[in-house]
């Protein structure tokens, strides 16, 4: 009895200590100018990105989201552990916030670190609905005395995002669907409407034109260039958030290598990095030390080389970060175009046929596949050179590769005179080009040292992250595929609309084996959980909420199924998510609120 009383008192005092922190976020359509043209953006409290929400671990958050737009909206808290009904995915965890309505989120903060929030409705994230979350730990750690500065990276196009997707799916009935349903595509999916939509698309959608879309600007806290006053010798903790819709960035500080201390909000054993790749929806905390004199550039370069955004730290003479070698590409595959090569999946499966996948042949983390590429012998393969081409900011024109040395052609030099450079006019093409060119079997040399992949093998958790060995393990194998001709993206060869939920049980350890048979990076995000990314650190494998599954590789993640609910699991490339690359992870016996 005494023990019981003791625990009750402890509980009571814990409750008393909890501080309630309240925010009001007003979402509105607002004219903004990033390019010299005024277009309508979507803002939070009149800002793009939205305000930084600051809390301390253990706080009770009350966040009222007011929708002043003429369309429905939603806000999802990316990376936060919270009750399912507070997760903010329309038609999955709650009804959308209708025009003129307010939704009040309320939850306890069970974690600390750098996170972010964004709309989960249609393509609104591309239009500006995102912002940062900083949660201080209950007890200050080694780095908490440092000054911190939030860095939200994003990509901007003046083009309406629906028209971007329309272009990607040219010939589709996207607008009809949108008008007809008046709901998000997720909602449509829940209603089973998308099956018909996609089957129509699969029959009649003509091939996309890769060169129609590009980003006008890359933004750092809402502008291409920012500066930060700092003292020589000062150490600053940058909380870097990739809030972009579809852009990965290379991060580099001109002053000295960065010290990486956290990934996806979780502290890791610190390590130094000269240049690092951040995937869409990931966060990294890095410490930079301001050199004795001058202003030093912290640069975020778009993965495809089409531009960058900068934070100039310190005052005086400017010292720029180096340009990153352009992802050069040479494609002439015996009449095949790049998009046709990419369209080889899932049919060709790039050397990873479904039968072999089912037999578990590709279950180990790391590089895979490409056996099937032998049928393409004699064709020119894309490749990456290490030539640095200095491109002016936002220069989208193609680059001339006529000076390319024949000896650099890895597979078929007989075609070297038939120069047919692919221009990198579009971000999409650039991303694709990068994906193709960075593949070891294709490029002959893998990702170059100057264009590294994600730094996952260096991420080491501070404590062991293994689970109780007595728990049952559920293993789920997922192939990541795409059909570029139709611009449909799949998990296990099915888009969201044609698939069942992924069912799991409370108390299990769930292991996802993700086998990427496509030529694109897919930053996969699981709502409401942290998962271990199995890597070189073994027992100390890091905990993340988003992981880039690199082209032609297998990534294995594990999580404890302890967060009851229906949780969205999807590729965080916005247009992939909207084109089918998503699932609902459903806990057995969980029932949705009927209003949802």
H and E: helices and strands count for the chain: 10, 32
CB 47, min distance to Cu ion, A: 28
CB of 494 to Cu ion, least distance (A): 15
CB of 325 to Cu ion, least distance (A): 24
Counting Cβ atoms within 10 Å, is residue 495 exposed (0-12), middle (13-18) or buried (19+)? buried
Distance set, CA 309 to CA 104, 222, 223, 306, 496 (Å): 34, 10, 8, 11, 34
Residue closer to Cu ion by CB (options 511, 522) is 522
Q: Is 14 exposed, middle or buried (0-12, 13-18, 19+ CB in 10 A)?
A: exposed
Closer of 514 and 561 to Cu ion (Cβ): 514
State which of residues 91, 275, 517, 522 lies at the interface with Cu ion (CB under 5 A): 522
Identify which of residues 565 and 580 has a Cβ nearer to Cu ion in the complex.
580
Is residue 573 at the binding interface for Cu ion, with CB under 5 A as the rule?
yes
Does the footprint of Cu ion cover residue 576 (CB under 5 A)? yes
Site for Cu ion in 543-572 (CB under 5 A): 571
* Total interface residues for Cu ion by CB under 5 A: 4
Q: How far is the CB of 198 from Cu ion (least distance, A)?
A: 16
Cα 85 to Cα 98: distance, rounded to the nearest angstrom: 17
Q: For residue 191, what are its two tokens?
A: 């209603």
Q: Scanning residues 263 to 302, which ones bind Cu ion (CB under 5 A)?
A: none
Shortest Å distance, C-beta 548 to Cu ion: 10
CB closer to Cu ion out of 246 and 368: 246
CA distance 437 to 416: 17
Interhelix angle for 161-168 vs 174-181, to 10°? 130
Q: Distance between CA 55 and CA 18 in Å, rounded?
A: 11
Strand ranges inside 157-294, DSSP E: 217-220, 225-228, 235-242, 249-253, 258-263, 266-273, 275-278, 283-289
543 or 581, CB closer to Cu ion? 581
By CB under 5 A, which span of 81-89, 378-386, 496-504, 574-582 interacts with Cu ion?
574-582
The contacts of residue 86 (CB under 8 Å, 6+ apart) are 77, 93, 105, 106, 107
Residues 195-214 that bind Cu ion (CB under 5 A): none
**Within positions 88 to 127, which residues make up the interface with Cu ion, using CB under 5 A?**
none
Distance of closest approach, residue 519 Cβ to Cu ion, in angstroms: 11
Residue 250 Cβ vs Cu ion, minimum distance, rounded to whole Å = 19
303 sits near Cu ion (criterion: CB under 5 A): no
Two tokens, residue 339? 């998009």
Q: What is the C-alpha to C-alpha distance for residues 77 and 339, in angstroms, rounded to an integer? A: 35
CA 340/CA 190 separation, integer angstroms: 32
Nearer to Cu ion, 545 or 576 (CB): 576
Instruction: Give the nearest distance from C-beta 522 to Cu ion in angstroms.
Output: 3
Segment interacting with Cu ion, rule: CB under 5 A, options 57-65, 149-157, 308-316, 573-581: 573-581
The residues binding Cu ion (CB under 5 A) are 522, 571, 573, 576
């Amino acid at each position: 009895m005494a023990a019981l009383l003791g625990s009750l008192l402890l509980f009571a005092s814990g409750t008393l200590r909890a501080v309630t922190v309240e925010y009001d976020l007003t979402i509105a359509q607002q004219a903004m100018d990033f390019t010299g043209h005024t277009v309508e953006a979507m803002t939070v409290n009149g800002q793009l990105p939205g305000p930084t929400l600051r809390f301390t671990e253990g706080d009770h958050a009350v966040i009222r989201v007011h929708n002043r737009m003429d369309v429905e909206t939603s806000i999802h808290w990316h990376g936060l552990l919270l009750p399912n009904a507070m997760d903010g995915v329309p038609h999955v965890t709650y009804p959308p916030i209708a025009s003129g309505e307010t939704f009040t989120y309320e939850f306890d903060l069970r974690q600390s670190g750098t996170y972010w929030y964004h709309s989960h409705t249609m393509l609104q994230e591309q239009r500006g609905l995102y912002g940062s979350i900083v949660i201080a730990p209950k007890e200050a750690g080694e780095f908490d005395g440092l000054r911190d500065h939030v860095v939200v990276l994003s990509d901007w196009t003046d083009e309406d995002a629906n028209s971007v997707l329309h272009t990607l799916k040219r010939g589709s009935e996207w607008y009809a669907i949108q008008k007809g349903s008046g709901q998000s595509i997720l909602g449509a999916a829940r209603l089973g409407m998308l099956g018909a939509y996609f089957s129509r698309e699969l029959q009649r959608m003509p091939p996309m034109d890769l060169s129609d879309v590009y980003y006008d600007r890359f933004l750092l806290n809402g502008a291409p260039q920012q500066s930060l006053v700092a003292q020589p010798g000062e150490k600053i903790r940058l909380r870097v958030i990739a809030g972009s819709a579809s852009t990965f960035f290379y991060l580099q500080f001109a002053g000295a290598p960065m010290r990486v201390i956290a990934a996806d909000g979780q502290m890791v054993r610190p390590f130094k990095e000269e240049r690092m790749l951040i995937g869409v929806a990931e966060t990294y905390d890095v410490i930079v030390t301001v050199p004795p004199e001058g202003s030093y550039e912290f640069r975020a370069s778009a993965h495809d080389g089409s531009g960058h955004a900068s934070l100039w730290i310190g005052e005086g003479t400017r010292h720029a970060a180096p340009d990153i070698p352009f992802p050069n590409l040479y494609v002439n595959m015996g009449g095949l175009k790049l998009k046709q090569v990419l369209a080889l999946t899932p049919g060709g499966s790039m050397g990873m046929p479904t039968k072999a996948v089912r037999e578990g042949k590709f279950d180990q983390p790391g590089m895979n596949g490409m056996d099937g590429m032998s049928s393409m012998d004699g064709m020119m393969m894309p490749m990456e050179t290490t030539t640095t081409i200095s491109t002016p900011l936002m220069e989208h024109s193609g680059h001339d590769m006529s000076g390319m040395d024949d000896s650099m052609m890895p597979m078929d030099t007989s075609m070297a005179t038939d120069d047919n450079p692919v221009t990198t006019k579009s971000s999409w093409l650039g991303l694709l080009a990068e994906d193709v060119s960075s593949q070891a079997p294709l490029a002959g040399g893998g990702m170059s040292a100057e264009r590294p992949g994600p730094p996952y093998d260096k991420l080491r958790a501070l404590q062991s992250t293994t689970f109780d060995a007595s728990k049952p393990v559920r293993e789920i194998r997922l192939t990541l595929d795409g059909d570029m001709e139709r611009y449909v993206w799949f998990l296990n060869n099915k888009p969201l609309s044609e698939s069942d939920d992924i069912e799991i049980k409370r108390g299990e350890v769930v292991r996802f084996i993700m086998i990427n048979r496509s030529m694109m990076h897919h930053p996969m995000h699981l709502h409401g959980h942290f998962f271990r990314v199995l890597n070189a650190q073994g027992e100390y494998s890091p905990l993340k909420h988003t992981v880039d599954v690199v082209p032609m590789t297998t990534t294995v993640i594990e999580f404890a199924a302890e967060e009851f609910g229906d949780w969205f699991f999807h590729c965080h490339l916005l247009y992939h998510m909207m084109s089918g690359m998503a699932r609902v992870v459903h806990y057995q016996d969980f029932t949705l609120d009927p209003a949802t």
